[in-house]
Amino acid sequence: MVWRVARQLDGALGGLELTRSDFRVPRFATTNLTGRSVLEAVSRGKHLLIRVDGAVTVHTHLRMDGSWRIRPAQHPPPRDHRIRLVLENAEWQAIGYQLGIVEVLPTAAEQRVVGHLGPDLLGDDWDAAEAVRRLRATPGRPIGEALLDQANLAGIGNLYKSEVLFLRGLSPSRPVGTAGDLKPVVELARRLLEANKEHAGQVTTGNPARGQETWVYGRAGRRCRRCGTVIKADGYAGRGTASQERVTFWCPACQPEPGPP
């Protein structure tokens, strides 16, 4: 979860002067932040903002396969073609692998990259009513798709989308306008994210044992923990996204399709 990554990067880099900045993306290959201090690292939805002395922000996004590794700064960064960015101080080395976005911008221009986001589920400024208002703006849209749209609410991924809809008994294909009160839906999403934000694993069932973590996510072909019906999976024809990210999981019995009008 990006919230946790931001906190780890903030702990390793925050308040210390960079002794190495190595941007391995063509556009910023010559950018050098050495000698500047990192002010803080924060998340906005799934975006990561590393604010650096001199009103500069390093904006990254994990997208599909991205990850960060933090290790003591005793060795040169590994030779690995998957590395996109290395930020290092006297104590720590933070290595960003396969990041989907790496860019440097003026801190004052952050709104350009995160201004479109809906209320942040893990933000101090979380606003459930505003998230509901944004979801409701497209009443015909399938709720599974609408919940993933970061312009409606920021921070929900495929796992939480699938789990929240199961727990609320809503089919992912149900149009937003027929899904009833959405406040409990977004509040549940926030509670699940809050409960998991400190941990590497993500558990929605309350049971962290291997294979027991989720109700429906990743469980296609297995039996529903509540009713025994076989869990279904389906790829969404989501706009411009890799299909795997949009695979949705649901129990056809616990999450019935809306009936005919």
Among 67, 205, 212, 229, binds Zn ion (CB under 5 A): 229
Which segments of 14-148 are extended strands (E)?
20-23, 38-44, 47-52, 56-61, 67-72, 83-88, 92-97, 101-106
Measured distance CA(103)–CA(113) in Å, rounded: 10
167 binds Zn ion (CB under 5 A): no
Where do runs of H (alpha helix) occur along 28-127?
A: 111-114
Question: Is the Cβ–Cβ distance between 223 and 251 less than 8 Å?
Answer: no
Nearer to Zn ion, 9 or 164 (CB): 164
By beta carbon distance, the residue nearest Zn ion is: 224
Among 94, 143, 186, 224, binds Zn ion (CB under 5 A): 224
58 binds Zn ion (CB under 5 A): no
227 binds Zn ion (CB under 5 A): yes
Nearer to Zn ion, 38 or 251 (CB): 251
205 binds Zn ion (CB under 5 A): no
Q: What residues from 237 to 256 belong to the interface with Zn ion (CB under 5 A)? A: 251, 253-254
Half-sphere exposure of 187 (CA within 13 A, CB side): 6
Q: Give me the least distance between CB of 251 and Zn ion, in Å please.
A: 3
Question: Is the Cβ–Cβ distance between 95 and 78 less than 8 Å?
Answer: yes
> Taking contact as CB under 5 A, which single stretch among the options 124-132, 181-189, 204-212, 229-237 is the one that binds Zn ion?
229-237
C-alpha distances out from residue 82 to 66, 92, 104, 139, 212, Å: 9, 20, 19, 41, 32
List, as one string, the DSSP characters of 129-150: HHHHHHHHTSTTSBHHHHHH-T
Nearer to Zn ion, 123 or 169 (CB): 169
Q: Give me the least distance between CB of 231 and Zn ion, in Å please.
A: 8
Nearer to Zn ion, 219 or 246 (CB): 219
Among 53, 226, 235, 241, binds Zn ion (CB under 5 A): 226
Give the relative orientation of helices 183-196 and 158-167 as an angle to the nearest 10 degrees: 130
Q: Give me the least distance between CB of 240 and Zn ion, in Å please.
A: 32
What is the contact surface with Zn ion in residues (CB under 5 A)? 224, 226-227, 229, 251, 253-254
